A and B are shown apart, each in its own frame.
Chain A
Amino acid sequence: MMLSDEPYRWAEAVANRRDYIEDQIRAGSPVVGVGYEDGILLLTLSQNQQKVFEVYDRITLAGIGHSTDIEKLRQAAIDMAHSIGFNYSEDDVTLRQIVYFGLGPAIKAGFDDVVHSPFLARVLLAELDGQEGAQVFYSVDYDGAFHRHEGWAVVGGVAEADVMMGRELSGLDTGALSLSDAAGAALRAWAMGRWVGKMDEVPTDAEQLEHKAGEVDVADVLETELKDMEVEAVVLGRSQLGKNKYRNVDAEEIAPALAKFKETDKT
C-alpha cells in the first residue's frame, strides 16, 4: 500500500501519528532549563530513574516521553559528540551540530517512517559557553522540528504546557540568578507544566487556558507530586574545575528553594 499515492490518507496518517505520540507523552514529567549566575540548571521531577544526562563536557540532555526512545537519542548524541571531540577537538563539539546533523534528522526520519514506531519523545539540550552563547538550549520535538532558545527553555507533554511554563520563566535575568532562585523558578514552571499535562482536556483557547491556570496553586501541585517523585537537577557550572562542567545538584542545594516555595505560596 502506497500511502503517498493518496494525499488525503497520507495526511490522515500523519495526523493520527501526531495524536498517538502526543497522547503517549502528554502526562510525562516536564523538563525545565534555566540559566543562573554560574551556568545552566536543568531540572525535573522523576521516580527513581535518571532523566537528565551528561552528553559532553558542556552539553547535557533531558527528555520527556518513552525512556527507551530517549535512551536511543541520548546514545546517538554521545556517540556524535565523542567522535567529533576525538577526531577534531573538544571545542569543535557544538550543540548545533548535534541537533542539526544528528538528533533533528534522526527524529524526523523516525516520524516520517509511518510503518515503524516513531520516537515517543521530546528532548531538551543545553550548552554552556558554546559558540552560540553562554546559555543556549535546543528543544527537539517528536517530529524532528527543533528550536533554539537563550536563557531558559522547557519541554512539557503538550505544546500548551510549554507556553504556560514559559510564562513562569520569561523576564528572568538568567545571568544573575542564584542557583537557589533558578531552582525556585524551575520548580514553579515544572509544576505548571505538569498541571497542564495532566488536564483531562487542555483548552485550545489561550485565554481560557490562562484563566484556568490562574486558579492553580502550583505549591499544591508540587507538594502532591513530591509524595512519589524526587527533584532531579544537574548544572553545567563554569566554576567547576577541569574541562567537564556537568555536575549533579545535591538535594541540600535544592532544599532552600523548596522551602521558600512553600512559604511564599502559603502567604
Chain B
Amino acid sequence: MQSGGDFVDLLRQTGYRFPGENLGDVQSERDLPFEPTDATTILAFQYADGVLVAGDRRATAGNMVLYDRADKVVDLDAFSVMAISGSPSIAFEIARILEHAFQYYRRRLLQEMSLQAKLRRLSLLIKDNLPLAMQGIGAVIPIFATYDRVDARGKIYFYDALGAQFESADFTTTGSGSPAIRGAMYYLNRWGGRRFVEMDRDAAIGHALQLLDTASEYDSATGRYERSADIFPSVKTITASGLAEIETEALRELYVQYVDGEEAGRA
C-alpha cells in the first residue's frame, strides 16, 4: 500500500511534468560543452549557534547584469534553506517543490520528514533535471543547510550537478565567485585566529560579508553591497530556534564594522 506522502507523485497525478521531462529529444543548435551556469557566490559555514548561509543578490546573463535583488537563499521550512547557484528557473522550481513536499509529507503522514529523506528528495530532483543539465542550460548546484534537532547542531550539504550529496564539515562555497574565496575561507578557518565554528553571530555575519565582498572583487557575476539602491547580500542563520533572516539594519551596522570601518582589514 502507498502511504501517499510523496508530493511529486501527487503532482504527476495532476499532470505536472518536471521541466527536464518535457525536453524529449530537443537539442541545442550548437554542440555546447557541459558548462554549468553558476554565476553567483553562495557560502555557508558552521558558527557558534548553528549555520550561516549567505549569497550575493546579482543575477546575470553572460556579461549583462539582469537584476540586483535576486534572493538566492530560499527557505524550505522553519529549519532549512536551499542556497541556489545555477539555472534560476530550475532552482526555484526545485525549491518550490521541496517546500511543498516537506509540508505535504508532514501533514499527510503526521510526522516530520527526516533529514535523510529531505536530502534524498533534493538529490532525486537534481537527478530528474539531468537532461537540462546536460544541455548546458539547466544545471543546479545547491547548498542545503539545516539545523538537525536530533543531533543538536547545524549541518551543511553540497551537491554536484548530478545529485551526489556531500556533508561539509566546516564550510563550503559554490558559484562562479567561489574559487576566489575558497582559499580565503580555508585560510581564515585555519589561521585566522578564530575558527568559524567559534564565531558568535555578529562575527560570523561580518566575515560572511567580507567574503562576499572578496568574491565580488574577482568575479563579475557576483554582486556586492549596492550603494545606489542600498541592497545588501542575503544572510540567513539557522539555529536551535529556527531560521532567521538578518535584517538590513543589522547588516548595515556589521557592514560598516567589518567591511568598511573599524574591523576592515583585520580578520
A interface list, Cβ under 8 A from B: 50, 53-56, 75, 78-79, 82-83, 85-87, 242, 244
Using Cβ atoms and an 8 Å threshold, which residues of chain A touch B192? none
Check B107 against A87 for contact (C-beta < 8 Å). no
Residue of A at shortest CB range from B244? A241
A-B contact pairs, 9 of them (CB 8 A): A53-B110, A78-B104, A79-B10, A82-B107, A83-B10, A86-B7, A86-B16, A86-B100, A244-B78
**Could you list which residues of chain B lie within 8 angstroms of chain A, going by C-beta atoms?**
4, 7, 10-11, 14, 16, 78, 96-97, 100, 103-104, 106-108, 110
Given A86-B100, A87-B16, A244-B103 in contact, is the A75-B4 Cβ separation under 8 Å? yes
B96 to A86, Cβ gap below 8 A? Answer: yes
Taking a contact as CB atoms under 8 Å apart, the answer to whether A78 and B108 are in contact is yes
List residues of chain A with CB within 8 A of the CB of B16: 86-87
- State whether A82 and B110 are in contact (beta carbons under 8 Å apart), knowing that A87-B14, A87-B16, A244-B103 are contacts in the complex: no
Chain B residues with Cβ below 8 Å from A54 are 106-107
Identify which of A85, A86, A87 gathers the most chain B CB atoms within 10 Å of its CB: A86
Which A residues are CB-close (under 8 A) to B100? Answer: 82, 85-86
A53 → chain B, closest Cβ, in Å?
A: 7
Q: Which residues of B are found within 8 Å of A75, using beta-carbon distances? A: 4, 108
**What is the minimal beta-carbon distance from A191 to any residue of chain B, in angstroms?**
27
Q: Which residue from B10, B14, B107 sits with its C-beta under 8 Å from A55?
A: B107
**CB-nearest residue of chain A relative to B14?**
A83
CB contacts (< 8 Å) of B104 on chain A: these are: 78, 82
Chain A proximity of B99: nearest CB distance (Å): 9
Interface pair B4/A82, CB less than 8 Å apart: no
Closest residue of chain A to B78, judged by CB? A242
A55 and B100 alpha carbons, distance in the complex (Å): 12
List the A side residues contacting B103 at CB < 8 Å: 82, 244
Cα–Cα, bound, A55→B106 (Å)? 10
Residues of A within 8 A of B78 (CB): 242, 244
> Which residue, of A82, A242, A244, has the highest number of chain B Cβ atoms within 10 A?
A82
Chain A proximity of B245: nearest CB distance (Å): 11
For residue A242, which residue of chain B has the nearest CB?
A: B78
Contact status B14-A78, CB under 8 Å: no
Candidates B7, B10, B11, B107; contact of A53 at CB < 8 Å: B107
Residues of B within 8 A of A78 (CB): 104, 107-108
Contacting residues, chain A, for B11 (C-beta < 8 A): 83, 86
Contact residues in A for B96 (Cβ distance below 8 Å): 86
A87 to B4, CA, bound (A): 19
How far apart sit A139 and B16, CA to CA, in the bound complex (Å)?
32
A244 to B102, CA, bound (A): 13
CB distance from A25 to the nearest CB of B (A): 22
- CB of A50 within 8 A of CB of B110, answer yes
Q: How far is the CA of A79 from the CA of B103 in the complex (A)?
A: 11
- A106 and B104 CA atoms in complex are apart in Å by 21
Distance of A34 from chain B, by nearest CB (Å): 23
